[in-house]
Amino acid sequence: MKLSERLSAITEFIAPGANVADIGSDHGLVPVYLAVNNRANRIIASDNSADSLKAARRNAIKYNVESKIKFIVAPGLDGVGEDEVDTVVIAGLGGETIISILEDAPWMKKLGITLILQPQTKLEDLGRWLRENEFEIICSKVVRDNKKLYTIFKVE
């Protein structure tokens, strides 16, 4: 399974054996990749669109990894239990949406969850919010994918 440059860079930030939730999973390419390559212990694909999750499930079936992924239709982290994950991926959403998702799940900060964030817009606003809320950007990477630049953050 081949991922785009952007999605491939996101998976590089995920520690092997992590318990991962991909929020706004869309077609589930990151969760399917993690499952195909046995890169995570637990994998959750969550999206507020049932149609997107149907596409994610089809991709999982195509690669015979459907049983390795938990599919949740819910906004943000609403369907994810505090004890289920140690890594949360939120990619391809606007910075303001990412902030809203994080504000609605304060348990992530107290549990020391690793965040892999790839905002489409408002990078500065997200960075400011992370600093103001005592998150630390551990590292970042800029990748070019289809002539567009994307910034990916690993945050704790």
Q: Distance (Å, rounded) from C-alpha 152 to C-alpha 7? A: 10
| Ramachandran quadrant class, 147 (left: phi over 0; alpha: psi -120 to 50; beta: rest) | left
Look at the chain and count its residues. 156
Q: What average pLDDT does this structure show over 118-130?
A: 96
Looking at the chain, the whole-number percentage of residues with pLDDT higher than 90 is 89
Q: Distance (Å, rounded) from C-alpha 66 to C-alpha 13? A: 23
Nearest 10 degrees: Cα torsion 72, 77, 78, 79: 30
Per-domain boundaries in the chain: 5-155
Q: What is the pLDDT of residues 7-34, one digit of tens each?
A: 999 999 999 999 999 999 999 999 999 9
Model pLDDT, residue 108: 80
Residue among 151, 88, 83 at smallest CA distance from 123: 151
> What's the burial of 81, exposed, middle or buried (CB within 10 Å: 0-12/13-18/19+)?
exposed
Superfamily of segment(s) 5-155: Vaccinia Virus protein VP39 (3.40.50.150)
Model pLDDT, residue 1: 81
pTM, 2 dp: 0.95
Model pLDDT, residue 82: 86
